[in-house]
Structure 1
Amino acid sequence: MAESEAMLRRVPSRSSWQRVRKARPHLLLSRRGRRRFGVLTRGELRRLRKRLLRAHALGGDWKLGAPAGAHVAVKCKLRARSRPAARRQPAPSGPPAPCPQLCSLLNPRNHSTPQSRSGRPVQKVSPNVTQPVRDLGSGRVLLMLPPGEGFTFSGICRVTCIYGQLEVYGHIIKQGQPPQDVFSVYTHSYLTINGVPYSEPEKSEKGVRREIRALLKPYTKLDDRDWAVRYFPPLGCILILERMQTRFVDFLKTYRCSSYVLLQENIPARVNSEFVTLKKIGIRRQKRKKGICLSESGLCALEELVSVSCVDGCPVILLCGACDIGKSTFNRILINQLLNSIPGVDYLECDLGQTEFTPPGCISLLNITEPLLGPPYTHQRKPQRMVYYGKMNCHNDYESYIEIVKYVFRDYKREFPLVINTMGWVSGDGLLLLVDLIRVLTPNYVIQLYSDRDKFTPTLTSEYVELTDGLYTKSKIKRYRGFDIPEFGDNLEFTDEEKECIPLPVFTGHTVMTVKSEFLSSKNEKNRAKYNKIFRDLAVLGYLSQLMLPMPEPLSPLHSLTPYQVPFNAVAIRIMHADVAPTHILYAVNASWVGLCRIVDEMKGYPQGPILLAQNPICDCLGFGICRGIDMEKRLYHILTPLPPEELKTVNCMLVGSISIPHCIFKNQPGPEGTVPYITTEYKLNLPGATENIGERTYGNAVSRHKLRQRRK
């Protein structure tokens, strides 16, 4: 034993040193590696080399450093972090690295360790070290993301995945797919572009470099491709960010109430080269904590819902929770993750105040086939069926609300999973109304969001819904064998023989998932109404942006567009939110936001008009428009709408609700000299129904507070 220990301490022969030098990796002992020690003399370098070779010959790990030169090896590792990672040859054998789940990317505290090409863990980038960014010119930026790392930003841009896979808002963008427009604005939580880890390619290192150069050739120059190959992280992603130039963006920038939402004009205290590069395309890097972060319960709920939708068919999923708790954000992430696996998702909008795909005040059913990468006002779409309710809430009119929901839900074909969004009113009558909705819509899953700051809300289990009376439905105790027949009422009595002949429906119930909300929100009880007013105005502007002609036609203001002329006797009129005298109907319709609808009755036998409806109809709404004028001599309405002429031919009803036109539309009318139409400063507030114009003041206060917060940061 002593002899063996003595042999281990013996200095290896010259031939052993030569064998070690041939087998060593070219990192520390090459001439390039010597320059990293800079502070050592030649003699110290020679002695250090002998110690490292001796330790390696005896079986030690020279990377960690021998006892005599450990401090130098550690110093080398610290200096090498700022340099590009050394490239290694792929391992000759072994299984590919596992790919982490998508849900872990939505939670920065749940990242799994990515794997490099050699099978060893990749060192994560420090929070102070940013990902490589390169300016390509012409409003384009090249960005590379290591696996598992994210890029949180504010602003709007167009994202193209060149190599690898990306995840934005739950949606996977693969290489070769068309570019996606991403909206990360300060009115909502900032978005994060995550690099999705993928399985190790079978190509060699040289083949990967050749593929990257070929993919970048249509977009970049030779120097840019050399830079990308040099800084490409193992199993990383390469993407191009472009300045977004669309008709929608140009239209919103012309109005004061929306231009500040899209522009990034504030300058931080410290300006670096990355900030200057990103500012050229209109975005700015933000801290990861300002992005979207899901709780563990939210990640588990998403994973289960996606797996059920892909395996078991078409479940009906209903989301409920208090105001500003994150229902819409959870819906977008869920829809985007479902679209990664299935071609489409159906969506039923039951929230009147903050709608997702239509202007406010609507109950609609849509089929979603494209990802949602921004706030609601950035993806206004045409529904399969829509009814214009005309108000932002259903207070004192619950029965009409329930009937409209049933009317729209009737069009659901059960070909895709259905996601149902509900109102944030979950206390008092709102809770009872929610119980009615669950009974009417019979969902398979009820996702109930909660947070520590909200009041206690009972868990809406299947037993709770069955034993609780709603506003218009009764509990299981008061119903005959679990159901009632509305045609006969509650006083219906059957004999024993009749009871045996009646087919009884089977109530399967639903599964409840409670999700703790960790979404950040700038709303509170004091400013909620002001923020919601701004969001409704942005939704209306997003819908009106469809009036703009496609590029390269010049952008035209709304008052310069030619309206449609509609005769008085061609359409019926109804004011939905208030009782208006027939002699004042036209005053209420002029300069108003109108819903263009189709009712069953034909408008015949009315030679003069206008035609007035006695009650609010439940009918299909095809679109919206602005009544910009009324010609009393020719008896014509002047309607400005983006609806095509073939659909306008079927419109025979115009509904006016409490949804108003944004004030910035009236004020932004360049061209007219003197008095601007529909604007006055001599307004008498003592008139019945007169209210102060707080829309612009509300927006100004919100913008001032946002600027103050940015200045403090």
Structure 2
Amino acid sequence: MPPKAKKQRIVSSTSTTSTVSVTTTSASATSAPLSALAARRQKLLAVDSKASTPEIEEHLEVDLEVDNLDVDEEEKASLDSHESGDDDTDSENSDPEDDDAVDPVLAAKSPSTPQYERRDRKQYLDPQSVSSFKPSRYNVAYSTAAGLPVMMLVGMKRGETLVFQGCATIIPLIGHSTVLGYTMSGTAEKRRVGSKKGAARSGEPKEIDLSSISSFDVFSPKTHALAVIEAISMAGSQRNLMVPQRTFPTSPELRAQLETQLAQLTLGDYDTIIAIQSASGCGILGIEKVVPLFKGILSIKQNSRLRGNEDDERLAQIRFESSLSGFHPILEPTDGIAALQVPATWKDAMQVLINATVDENGGRVKRPPVSVVCGGKKMGKSTFSRLILNRMLNRYRKVAFIECDIGQSEFTPVGMVALHVVQTPALGAPFTHPRQPYRAFFVGNSTPRDDPDYYMACIKELVRTYYAEVSHTRTWDDTDDDYHSDDDEDEHIPLVINTQGWIKGMGYDLLLQLLDYTAPSHIFGFHSPSNGESNLPQSFFTTMKEQAHLAGRQQPSFSYVSAVVLGDESSASPFTKYHPADHRALALLSYFYLSQERDMDLTDLASSDKRTWDFSQALVVRRPWCWDWNQAKGIWVLFDQVPPSQILHVLNASLVALTGDKEDRVSDGSGTLDGNQQQQPEPVTDATPGKAVPLNYFPLGQYPPPPPEHTTCHGLAIIRSIQPSTHTLHILTPIPLVKLRKCNGIVKGAIHMPIHASLDHNEENSKVPGVAGVPWKNVPYLNYEISSSSYMNGSQSPSAGNQSPRLGFAPASKIIGADAKVIRKNLGRKRLQS
């Protein structure tokens, strides 16, 4: 029996917070010449056309048919936008299928009806997150020649800042500028130079060398604090200690273009001149199409329209904002924008580390510093570690970086601890600069709580690798550094370690073990005056001094660093929109859509800062690699005991790590993988007659995880499908072929691939709505929306045709895994409230 129509009394008000009284009574269904929503729309428009005051309210009687309303989509969208009176933020959270629900905009005045009140989203406008640089026709030169890449030359005075969202290629020409802690130096030396006007005034000729230049790709997404380019000046003593930047020869066309644009500027009026090009060609902007949540993290809709009455300043601003694709300068306070602001304690702590690189005579110290950054969650450790890394790259050609935060890694996807030898600065959020590690291990989870012993064993092996193979340049391959002189052969490589945010209970014990084994020279501890529970214990520094005294080591330098608390639920900060799980999904998607040349050399993988992404094809459409599991020397499933007969079902459509032998870094991969150091294990296999060649499976509990002393992780992969008849795994991975041939082990952990990796973001361009040309009704593992009334009545038929799947009700007996038991591991962690 269909539900009866309901009569609602709507009270419209012109007050700032509109309150509407809703009373519901039963009535018979009546017919009307117009649809119910159309009639409601006309009456609401009539109310708006009349003048009213907050004290005078007008009452309307509207009959609404609950079922079978004949409303077209355009009419409904127009009505919804009229009722909301706000942007799309409120409408995204509404449920169009629940006709009995009361609109959250309405508030009932009746005592028996719940009260609702509109809450407009609080805007986040930060006046400090605005560029102090103001573009004009004098300080910005544009390329005018046809056929040449679009480029802007920007002249900045000392102290001026340029905040932007998006991505851009920065070419420093004259002077110095900083971005994310790294100092960019102009390769075209400035010696009292000027344009024709300046030369006529000073009488001095131009002396600019454009034979070679440096370039840096800078990424500034809204998921993190935006990058800030600041013009600075440097003393001669500071410049002498800086390492020369990597340069490349300038083509004749580019050189002529730069000379033409430099002639448009009065060079003597500016301390710093940089060239800005669009970096959208790298393909990173395509990540916004994969996940709707990430739409707008790099791009901004341009609303700059000429009205005919703009002055010169406004015209210059509009041109500056719209000249480069993917480059969006922030020239006025913008909602949801927060730029990177480095606290004073951060600057002091970084200066302590920089001073430690110079000895008493002004030369470079023999033993480079080893720094450890520690503190609680959401305090800015990763950002501070990135700034330290970039600052040290101005003093050293290479800097080692060990990532211990497996939940939000800097250069690798989630679940990995890794040692990197970094040669180019990290100018962006973690998902914008994935790198091939020097050595890595797959822990298999976003937290070490499930296997802390294996987590510490992996970190200790990375520290041993640093001291044995990386700390000195004579043990590191320098064949790609021919642009440096031979005098740097004895240079050492400093180390930066970023730790996890788990500093309570077992997490604190793990931190103490790491510090005792690493023996750092500098420890940076984050401290928050307002959030004492996230601080390190008061006895932390005392404990470290005692450990150093007992071990006979020199006591490390301690520095307190003020925490920058991010993600406060009660604030309107833009960082509250993205959960740590969102950042992990973003890093995984960026990793798997990464483009890698199949014949790229291993040293190029570690040193190159030029990365490209390919989002033109969804992962489900791409051609996979065929990997013969006969070459697998071991397969592990961490944290779960899986019977050998079910191992293929567990591996299918899962995210795994591909491992190899440690000695395999320079060999052909013919070594032996030892699953147990005391005794060569005999893997458990399924030898059932008629089955394919079994896998070399090492069950949990009988065998340990892959030993860190003899293995390394080359990267992650998605097992798209399995073909048992040919013992073949079809895998998707960005690992290049030169390293894929060295993989001989598979490790599956508790990391799952994001749901959007299984969907087709190019569906709108497909002739058949669905995934990779398969209609929605034929796509497996998806639950189609079912109304609650149908579920209660027992008729669970999916939506017809090619409609997109949506979250809905389904019988538990038809949902695979619905009866799975979930172990709660957070019992007793919250303190009892008296």
What interval of TM-score do these two structures reach, taking the shorter chain for normalisation?
A: 0.5 to 0.7
Instruction: Indicate which of 151, 156, 162 corresponds to 2:162.
Output: 151
Residue type at the aligned position of 1:655: V
Provide the rounded CA distance (Å) in 2 between the counterparts of 1:195 and 1:528: 31
Q: Does 2:469 correspond to 1:412?
A: no
Please state whether the residue corresponding to 1:162 is helix, strand or coil: strand
Secondary structure class of the residue paired with 2:594: helix
Does structure 2 retain, via aligned residues, the 8 Å contact 1:318–1:421? Answer: yes
SS at match of 2:725: coil
- The answer on 1:184 being equivalent to 2:220 is yes
Q: Identify if the C-alpha distance between structure 1 residues 150 and 529 changes in structure 2 by more than 3 Å, giving closer, same or farther.
A: closer
Letter in 1 for 2:774: E
Query: 1:386 matched to which residue of 2?
Result: 440
Q: Are 1:673 and 2:774 an aligned pair?
A: yes
- Residue deviations 1:342-383 (CA, integer Å, cap 9, x gap): 101111111110000111101111111101110011111111
The answer to whether structure 1 residue 648 and structure 2 residue 737 are counterparts is no
Shift of 1:251: 4.7
1:277 and 2:320 aligned: yes
Specify which of 149, 173, 192 is matched with residue 184 of structure 2.
Answer: 173
Equivalent residues in 2 for 1:286-435, closer than 5 Å = 286=330, 290-310=338-358, 311-312=364-365, 313-413=367-467, 414-415=471-472, 416-435=493-512
Instruction: Indicate the larger mover: 318-327 or 560-569.
Output: 560-569
Letter in 1 for 2:345: S
Per-residue deviation, 1:291:
2.3
Question: Is residue 316–residue 417 contact of structure 1 (8 Å, CA) maintained in 2?
Answer: yes
Q: Which amino acid aligns with 2:646?
A: H
TM-score of the aligned structures, taking structure 2 as reference length = 0.57
Alpha-carbon distance in 2 for matches of 1:155, 1:349: 26
Question: Retained in 2: the 8 A contact 1:568–1:636?
Answer: yes
CA contact (8 A) 1:684 1:690 kept: no
Q: Secondary structure at the match of 2:435?
A: coil
Q: CA deviation at 1:655?
A: 1.0
Do structure 1's residue 514 and structure 2's residue 560 form an aligned pair?
A: yes
1:563 maps onto 2:606 in alignment: no
Q: How far off is 1:566 after superposition?
A: 2.2
Taking structure 1 as reference, are residues 266 and 395 closer, same or farther at Cα in structure 2, changes over 3 Å only?
A: farther
Instruction: Call closer, same or farther: CA 1:248–1:577 in 2, change over 3 Å.
Output: farther
The 3 A distance-change label for structure 1 pair 217 and 388 is: closer
Q: Contact 1:548–1:556 (CA<8 Å) still a contact in 2? A: no
User: 1:463 Cα deviation (Å)?
Assistant: 2.9
Match of 1:244 among 276, 279, 286: 279
Corresponding letter in the other structure for 2:654: S
Query: 163, 187, 190: which is aligned to 2:174?
Result: 163
Distance 1:248 1:358, change over 3 A: farther
Partners of 2:617 and 2:254 lie apart in 1 by: 38
CA–CA distance in structure 1, aligned partners of residues 175 and 545 of structure 2 = 49
Q: Of 646, 657, 662, which residue of structure 2 is paired with 1:584?
A: 646
Greater Cα shift, 310-319 or 368-377? 310-319
Q: Residues 523 and 179 from structure 1, CA distance in 2 versus in 1: closer, same or farther, beyond 3 angstroms?
A: farther
Q: Is the helix fraction higher in 1 or 2? A: 1
Structure 2 CA distance for aligned equivalents of residues 184 and 530 of structure 1: 16
Task: Pick closer, same or farther for the CA change 1:165–1:678 going to 2, 3 Å.
Answer: farther
AA at the equivalent of 1:536: R
- Work out the CA distance in 1 between the residues paired with 2:519 and 2:582: 34
Q: CA deviation at 1:187?
A: 0.7
Mapped partners of 1:359, 1:535: distance in 2: 10
- Specify the code of the residue in structure 2 equivalent to 1:192: V
SS at match of 2:436: coil
Q: 2:698 corresponds to which letter in structure 1?
A: L
Q: Give, in angstroms, the shift of residue 523 of structure 1.
A: 4.9
Residues 355 and 225 (structure 1), Cα distance of their counterparts in 2 relative to 1, 3 Å cut: closer
Q: 1:169 to 1:656 in 2, by over 3 A?
A: same
Do structure 1's residue 611 and structure 2's residue 696 form an aligned pair? yes
Secondary structure of the structure 2 residue equivalent to 1:301: helix
CA offset at residue 268 of structure 1? 8.1
Tell me the SS of whatever aligns to 1:218.
Answer: helix
Decide whether aligned partners of structure 1 residues 239 and 592 sit closer, same or farther in structure 2, where only a CA change above 3 A counts.
Answer: same
Give me the whole-angstrom Cα distance separating, in 2, the residues matched to 1:552 and 1:459.
46
Kindly tell me: are residues 383 and 225 of structure 1, through their superposed partners in 2, closer, same or farther at Cα, counting changes over 3 Å? closer
Q: Distance in 2 between matches of 1:344 and 1:128?
A: 33
Deviation at 1:168, TM superposition (A): 1.1
Instruction: Say which SS state the counterpart of residue 453 (structure 1) adopts.
Output: coil
Q: Which runs of 5+ in 1 are unaligned?
A: 1-107, 110-124, 201-213, 468-474, 483-504, 693-713
Instruction: Decide whether the 8 Å contact of 1:348 with 1:420 is kept in 2.
Output: yes
Partner of 2:724: 632
Change (3 A) 1:459 1:283: farther
**Cα distance, 1:575 vs. partner?**
1.9
Larger Rg, first or second structure (1 or 2):
1
The one-letter amino acid paired with 1:182 is: V
1:146 counterpart letter in structure 2: K
**Structure 2 partner of 1:94:** none
- CA distance in 2: counterparts of 1:660 and 1:684, whole angstroms: 24
Task: Report the more deviating stretch, 361-370 or 454-463.
Answer: 454-463
Whether contact under 8 Å (1:184, 1:374) holds in the other structure is yes
1:301 Cα shift? 1.2
Cα distance change, pair 679–264 in 1 and its aligned pair in 2 (3 A): farther
Q: Secondary structure at the match of 2:353?
A: helix
Aligned partners of 2:133 and 2:162 also within 8 Å: no
Q: For each residue in 1:236-295, what CA deviation from the matched residue of structure 2 results, as whole angstroms up to 9, or x when unmatched?
A: 222222111334425535423545322122648999431443233233333699322222
Q: Which deviates more from structure 2 when the two are superposed, residues 386-395 or residues 166-175?
A: 166-175
Q: Give distance in 1, aligned partners of 2:614 and 2:442.
A: 33
Structure 1 contact 189–520 (Cα < 8 Å) conserved: no
Amino acid at match of 1:172: T
Contact 1:146 1:233 in 2 (8 A): no
Kept in 1: contact 2:159–2:230 (CA 8 A): yes
* 602-611 or 331-340, which deviates more: 602-611
Write the deviation string for residues 556-612 of structure 1: whole angstroms up to 9, x where unpaired.
Answer: 443343322223333232221333333332222111111001254279997821221
Contact residue 283 and residue 613 of structure 2 kept, 8 A: no
Match of 1:193 among 226, 229, 250: 229
Question: 253, 257, 261: which is aligned to 1:219?
Answer: 257
1:449-486 CA-partner distances (Å, limit 9, x unpaired): 1223322432465532366xxxxxxx89xxxx94xxxx
**1:331 Cα deviation from its structure 2 partner:** 1.2
Shift of 1:690: 4.5
Q: CA 1:635/1:340 → structure 2, altered by over 3 Å: closer, same or farther?
A: same
- Residue 463 (str. 1) matches residue 542 (str. 2): yes
Distance in 2 of aligned mates of 1:655 and 1:529: 33
- Change in Cα spacing, 1:196 to 1:216, as seen in structure 2 (3 Å) is farther
CA contact (8 A) 2:183 2:394 kept: yes
Q: Distance in 1 between matches of 2:515 and 2:286?
A: 40
Shift of 1:514: 0.4
Pairwise CA RMSD:
3.7
Q: Determine the structure 2 residue equivalent to 1:531.
A: 579
Paired positions, count: 520
Percentage of identical aligned residues: 23
3-state SS, counterpart of residue 186 of structure 1: coil
**1:614-665 CA deviation, whole Å, 9 max, x = no partner?**
2322331111111111113323211122223333333221111222222222
Aligned to 2:517: 440
Alignment of 1:114-125 (within 5 A): none
Q: 8 Å contact 2:289–2:761 — kept in the other structure?
A: no
Superposition deviation, residue 552 in structure 1: 12
What is the one-letter code of the residue matched to 1:400? Y
After superposition, the Cα gap between the structure-2 partners of 1:243 and 1:129, relative to the gap in structure 1 and judged at 3 Å, is: closer
